[in-house]
Structure formats: structure tokens, C-alpha cells
Amino acid sequence: MQFADLYQPLSDDASERAQKIKLLICDIDGVFSDGRIYLGNQGEELKAFNTKDGFGIKALINSGFEVAVITGRHSQIVQQRMTSLTVPHIYQGQENKLQAYQQLKDKLQLSDEQIAYIGDDGPDLPVMELVGFAVAVNDAHPLIKRISHYTTMLPGGFGAVRELTDLLMLENGKSLTSEGTSS
């Protein structure tokens, strides 16, 4: 099965870049969620996560890829969700995402070209300019879309992460059928 059969045509450049990826790094707000934060009267914070994205992350991990999140905010909700998806590298409260990126790159002994990053707005830009495969969600800020190697068909919080996990798996010869649940 070809990626274009499921989503949209993929440029030769994007395909070549995707084939080198060993690590996917995701932003949270605007990527895993739609970017909205719901605040309750008692100060509770709520976010919506898409189970399709969750299934894609688990399938990617089960296929041998490393997965990380780097987010500027700190939230127990994010910790719970990423832990339930077995994401091993969770960096929260990272106003300077480059520091976390460099730590992760050194820890896993990877080069920039082996790393993909999916983002949606200005704080993602410094890392996206370094990675081998920069991906913007469909509803990302125009500046992020301009520097990305691929823009998802789907918006953040509505399957964009799943689209990217499918792309990485298909371009690396992995099956999209994977055991497990999306949690």
C-alpha cells in the first residue's frame, strides 16, 4: 500500500527524508490536541486527544521507532496520556525546545537527519529548522508550513499525528496493522 492511496501524494524529497527517520518528536498543543485548553470553574484543565493518533504512536513504537514529546507547557494530563501510550521520552515545561532536543539527540546518539518533528507554531521553529524531516499540521501557522518538508492533510488534534506515523511506517516498509489499542 502506498501513502498516497490513504492521504495525499508525497514528494520524492519527503519520501527520502522519511526513510531515514529513527525518532519522531511531537509538540502537544495544536498537534496532539486541537490547541484549545478547557478550564473548569475549579481550575481543572481539560484537553481532547484523538485515539487514532494514540494508535499511530503505539504502532510506531511497536515497529521500532523512538518517540518523544517536547512541549512548552507542563500538564499532568500530558504526562498521563503520553505514559498510557508508552512514550518513553517526555519533556514538559521546555520554553527552549532546543535544549531538550539536543539532550534527546545526544541520549539516543542520533543525527539531525534521523529525526522528524511535527509542530504547529513559533516555538517549534528552531527545532524544525534542524531536523531531517520537519512536518507541519494542516492548520499550522503559515511560517511553520513554509519551512516544513511536509504538511499533513489533517489538522492538529484530528489525526495529523496518525497521518505522520502512517507515513513513517509505510516509507520504512512497516505494516500499518499493529497489535494493541489506542488507550
The Cα 26–Cα 130 span in angstroms is 14
Q: What's the pLDDT score for residue 45? A: 83
pLDDT for the residue numbered 175: 86
Strand order of the β-sheet with 150-151 is 89-91, 66-70, 23-26, 115-119, 133-136, 150-151
The pLDDT value recorded for residue 46 is: 85
Q: What is the pLDDT of residue 105?
A: 97
Mean pLDDT per 10-residue interval, the chain, length 183 residues: 92 98 97 90 88 95 96 92 96 95 97 98 97 98 98 98 97 79 60
CA distances from 84 to 13, 24, 44, 174 (A): 34, 17, 20, 23
pLDDT at 87: 97
Whole-number pLDDT of residue 44: 85
The pLDDT, as a whole number, for residue 130 is: 98
23: which strand partners?
66, 115
Q: pTM of the predicted model, to two decimals?
A: 0.94
Give pLDDT, residue 180.
54
For the chain, domains (ranges, CATH) are 22-171 (3.40.50.1000)
